[in-house]
Amino acid sequence: MTASLTPLVVVGDALLDHDLCGRAERLAPDAPVPVVHGTRRSSRPGGAALAACLAAADGRPVTLVTALGADAASDTLRELLAGRVGLVEVPLEGALSSKTRVMAGDRPLLRLDDGNGRAREASPQAVAAVAAAGGVLVADYGRGTADVLRDALVHTAAPVVWDPHVSGRPPVPGVRLATPSAQEARAFARRLDDAEAGDTAGLRTAARDARTLVRAWQAQAVAVTLGERGALLSHGETPLLVPTPAAATGDPCGAGDRFAAAAAGLLADGTHTEAAVQAAVHAATRYVAEGGARAVAVADEPETDTMPSADGDPTADAVRTAARVRAAGGTVVAAGGCFDLLHAGHVALLQAARRAGDCLVVCVNSDDSVRRRKGDGRPLVPAADRVRVLRALECVDAVAVFDEDTPERILGELRPHIWAKGGDYARSRLPEQPLVESWGGQVLLLPYLDGRSTTGLARRAAQAPTPAGGHPR
């Protein structure tokens, strides 16, 4: 596939992003702030580096031209980019910018920013990379990389997509497509016409701003991104609204980078602007629905193939497994249940679920959850043993344990493409079905073997005949 796609050069400011993801279920006793527990820390490329990784995930060769220095954050980012994209550096003055988000599920609670480094000057290698590019994406985050390479960007013969930032300069004249968000378009337009602040979500405002920016920037086209509403494409006259194909809920961080990267790659391949924008809207929608930036994140703790400890939480491994499969373009399948006494019905269901996709994550009720659902006599097998048995099945790729009565929380972290359940649910609507469908997922019912149940097995075991001598075998 790579040979048919035009190589892309991404020029812009790389960032290093960290996420601290956990659960927030109560407030602190000494202040009205949420307490986040069970946190898992991950790091990922941010800014222009995220845009480059997303473009490379489409299967095309990508070279990132960005400013890096001798600081620890720059070294970490180099490690994260190794093997994903080619790297051409320009010198960085100061420390690489990084940001840390504290997340409760998909909801950010706090962000901490560090580093204020800026690109110092262009390098001959960077200028040569822009000159030889088949397509260029400028991911400007206002930290100087696009500024020091501005002359090279003016003179490149390649189609240029410019994703601007309010802290940066306007695009160079003649870009094929500029991709500001509605808020960015409003800010740039106000600088030009000194207009009153308007409703950035309004289509009339977005259309007016896009028309203003096409003319002021001498751009061939401007696509104003509108979040869940899609994008508004303008060549300077009547705009074209490109809606999203479906409602997608989730973490939108990086959705603009996904849009710009998809559009830049397609325009480099020779696709018409309207078709490229439509495909970019679809790509950004899928990106949000499938977990967003988490797909390119790397856990700070090294992964192992060992079993989690009895009191550990295997959810992190399950989330990483799902993210890896999504990033590779595969289908994530999840199935859930108590799996108290694993029997032939369970195995048949899990084998069928695994055949429906490229990985299977099994969501298992914790001991407390089983007890609330089944009564004080259950579970018969503790969670640690149930996890061990399930992980031993060839059809199971990962197992996650959830404490709630229903699996909505863990499904929100996994975001599977398919949620598989036994056919005995065919006449009822599952409570988690609206959640799965909210990110474009599908609930899939699979045949269930009749006559197999944990309750029946337990009852027959309790009624087993006692042999002579009075001791059961």
Least confident stretch, 248-252, 378-382, 392-396: 248-252
Least confident stretch, 61-70, 391-400, 442-451: 442-451
Lookup: tokens for 462: 């309790």
The model's confidence at residue 466, banded by pLDDT at 50, 70 and 90, is low
Contact 12, 51 (CB under 8 A): yes
Per-residue buried b or exposed e for 268-299, using 16+ beta carbons within 10 Å of the residue's own CB: bbebebeebbbbbbbbbbbbbbbbbbbbbbbe
Element of type H or E holding 108: strand 107-114
Mean pLDDT of the chain: 86
CA 166 to chain centroid: 24
Please pick, among 257, 317, 340, 397, the residue that the annotation labels catalytic.
257
- Per cent of the chain over pLDDT 90 is 51
Which residue stretches of 328-445 are H helix?
Answer: 344-355, 367-374, 383-391, 408-414, 433-438
- CA dist., res. 205 & res. 363, Å (int): 46
pLDDT (mean) for 425-454:
74
The model's confidence at residue 382, banded by pLDDT at 50, 70 and 90, is confident
Whether the predicted pLDDT of 217 surpasses 90: yes
Residue with tokens 């949620």: 419
Q: Which residues lie closer than 8 Å to 319 by C-beta, 6 or more apart? A: 40, 294, 400, 413, 414
Whether the predicted pLDDT of 303 surpasses 50: no
Question: How confident is the model at residue 472, as a pLDDT?
Answer: 47
CB atoms within 10 A of CB 131: 13
Q: Where are the beta strands (DSSP E) in 266-416?
A: 298-299, 332-337, 359-365, 398-402
Ranked by mean pLDDT, the top range of 123-127, 313-317, 346-350, 446-450 is 123-127
The model's confidence at residue 138, banded by pLDDT at 50, 70 and 90, is very high
Question: How confident is the model at residue 48, as a pLDDT?
Answer: 96
What are the tens digits of pLDDT across the range 206-216? Answer: 999 999 999 99
Lookup: tokens for 144: 């100087």
Is 305 annotated in the active site?
A: no
Looking at per-residue confidence, does 464 or 311 come out higher? 464
Least confident stretch, 98-112, 269-283, 426-440: 426-440
Whether the predicted pLDDT of 119 surpasses 60: yes
Least confident stretch, 48-57, 254-263, 457-466: 457-466
The model's confidence at residue 286, banded by pLDDT at 50, 70 and 90, is confident
The model's confidence at residue 307, banded by pLDDT at 50, 70 and 90, is very low
Question: How confident is the model at residue 431, as a pLDDT?
Answer: 82
CB atoms within 10 A of CB 168: 21
pLDDT (mean) for 72-80:
95
Whether the predicted pLDDT of 305 surpasses 50: no
Whether the predicted pLDDT of 444 surpasses 70: yes
Say how many residues make up the chain.
473
What are the tens digits of pLDDT across the range 221-242? Answer: 999 999 989 999 999 989 999 9
The model's confidence at residue 373, banded by pLDDT at 50, 70 and 90, is confident
Looking at per-residue confidence, does 123 or 245 come out higher? 123
Question: How confident is the model at residue 461, as a pLDDT?
Answer: 54
Whether the predicted pLDDT of 326 surpasses 90: no
Looking at per-residue confidence, does 3 or 108 come out higher? 108
- Global pTM? 0.69
Question: How confident is the model at residue 447, as a pLDDT?
Answer: 76
Contact 118, 69 (CB under 8 A): no
CA atoms within 13 A on the CB side of 446: 23
Question: How confident is the model at residue 308, as a pLDDT?
Answer: 43
Lookup: tokens for 322: 């799902």
- CA dist., res. 254 & res. 466, Å (int): 65
Whether the predicted pLDDT of 117 surpasses 70: yes
Ranked by mean pLDDT, the top range of 23-37, 150-164, 457-471 is 150-164
Whether the predicted pLDDT of 380 surpasses 70: yes
Least confident stretch, 86-95, 408-417, 419-428: 419-428
